[in-house]
A and B are shown apart, each in its own frame.
Chain A
Amino acid sequence: MDCNEAAPRIALAALDALDGDEAVAIASHVATCARCAAELRSLRQTRGALAAATVAAAPPLDVDAVMAAGAERSVPPAAAPRRLALRRVAAAAAWLGVAALSGWLGGAARPAAGPQGEAVLSGPTAETLARGLLLLDDRLTALETSHPRDLQLLAQSIDRAQEQRDRGVTAQLESLALETGRELAAARRAVFTISQQLPAAWSAEFAATREQ
């Protein structure tokens, strides 16, 4: 291989992007040609400079939102029966006020004590939580009703936009679907988180009372 044959391949050699045979041929040429060797070194330095273009860590992906946005494959809400029981507890807690509920349920329903001995949930906090849970649950129910319809409409529009090769509109519609998915996933998470905050004794005992 002479310099003319080597020239177009030196950049590829610097990128380690040559096949075995060509890589060997370039290596043996460079071993005997100072000019091409210098060119290869210099291009490797430029390649080395690429390390400076670092990428900042991305926020974690909201996988729930992605799956919720994928309409036809979305996962069925897992804890629907439990939500119903919790909803009844929360409704009662919000309506009666927590003190009354605690009194009614007796000692077993008293909120657990924290590390310093104070109640983890004081009456008003628990009542606020219960009201919050009710609001969220309403929102979640509304979303779960409207969501499949919205996404079906969006999916049809996305198909149409793709048929018409309008990529800008396709991207916007997909973002909208993701936004809808994010909303649904966030509502599911919030209901779950708040339900975890309610004293366990409430749901168990109150649900038991209501079943009778």
Chain B
Amino acid sequence: MAAEGASEREAIERARQGDARAFRRLVELHDRALVELAARLLGDADEAHDVRQQAWLRIWQALPRFDGRAGFRTWSWQVVVHLCRDRQRWRARRGDRATVAIEAARELAAPDATPDSALLAAERTAQVRAALASLPDDERECLVLRHYHDLAPAEIAAVVGRPRTTVQSCLARALTKLHQRLRPTQEERDGLQRSRSADRVGGA
């Protein structure tokens, strides 16, 4: 599943031998995807930044042993997924898992102010983030890799280390759960927009 172009393959080979410029090239090509993946898996920008640094450190150290069989992209994402799993286990032990995101969503959803469109958008963002955070780790991994990074089920299977059929059932469960969790809020939002336009008509 090595999908690299010739120049990237060359950069990988040179970086394997310790070439700093080639390593910088790999960072340029992949860093954004890695940090976004971490941010969506963890739901926390600061932690995502830590994970991304840790991931590049591991990649730099392990590059000489990288055999290229999995493809650099798949391998780098495996590193991030594993680091995020570790963090989530750590968080789960400390018992603060995802509570921040859920609290934020609840707060924003509280109907105490007249929401303008920016607030509605922020509310929606918080709701979707909270819904993603509420998924089990394996389902969130599969959904994030499929939707935000456009990976086919076979490549997701390689990244998360599970059979493709398992990936497919994870994907189906994840979307169904999100559907159930986000639907009422969609209706609320429609209702809210209707009442606001009614207000405008009435006030004119």
Interface, chain A (partner B; CB < 8 A): 8-9, 11-12, 14-15, 17, 42-43, 45-47, 49-50, 52-56, 58-59, 61-63, 65-67, 69-70, 72-73, 75, 167-168, 170-171, 174-175, 177-178, 181
- Among the listed stretches B5-13, B23-31, B192-200, which one makes contact with chain A, having 4 or more residues with CB under 8 Å of it? B23-31
Task: Give 14 new A-B contacts, CB below 8 A, not counting A61-B31, A73-B64.
Answer: A8-B172, A12-B168, A45-B186, A50-B128, A50-B132, A52-B127, A53-B128, A58-B39, A62-B53, A66-B57, A167-B90, A168-B86, A174-B57, A177-B57
Q: Cα distance A56–B48 when bound, in Å?
A: 11
Q: Cα distance A47–B57 when bound, in Å?
A: 34
Interface, chain B (partner A; CB < 8 A): 18, 20, 23-24, 27, 31-32, 35-36, 39-40, 45, 48-50, 52-54, 56-58, 60-61, 63-64, 83, 86-87, 89-90, 93, 121, 124-125, 127-129, 132, 143, 146-148, 152-153, 168, 171-173, 175-176, 178-179, 182-183, 186
Q: Do B86 and A43 touch (CB < 8 A)?
A: no
Identify the interface centre among A12, A17, A178, A181: most chain B CB within 10 Å of its CB: A17
Q: Do A178 and B57 touch (CB < 8 A)?
A: yes
Q: Cα distance A134–B53 when bound, in Å?
A: 31
Q: Cα distance A43–B176 when bound, in Å?
A: 8
Q: Cα distance A95–B189 when bound, in Å?
A: 71
**Given A43-B175, A55-B39 in contact, is the A67-B125 Cβ separation under 8 Å?**
no
- The one of A8, A12, A58 in contact with B35, judged by C-beta atoms closer than 8 angstroms, is A58
Sample of 12 A–B contacts (CB below 8 Å): A11-B171, A17-B152, A50-B128, A50-B178, A56-B39, A58-B32, A61-B35, A61-B52, A63-B20, A66-B53, A171-B83, A177-B57
- Chain B contact surface mostly: helix
User: In whole Å, how far is A200's beta carbon from the nearest beta carbon of chain B?
Assistant: 26
Q: Do A70 and B57 touch (CB < 8 A)?
A: yes
- Chain A contact surface mostly: helix
- The one of B23, B48, B173 in contact with A58, judged by C-beta atoms closer than 8 angstroms, is B48
**A contact residues around B56 at 8 Å (CB):** 61, 63, 66
**A contact residues around B83 at 8 Å (CB):** 171
- The one of B63, B125, B143 in contact with A52, judged by C-beta atoms closer than 8 angstroms, is B125
User: In whole Å, how far is A180's beta carbon from the nearest beta carbon of chain B?
Assistant: 11
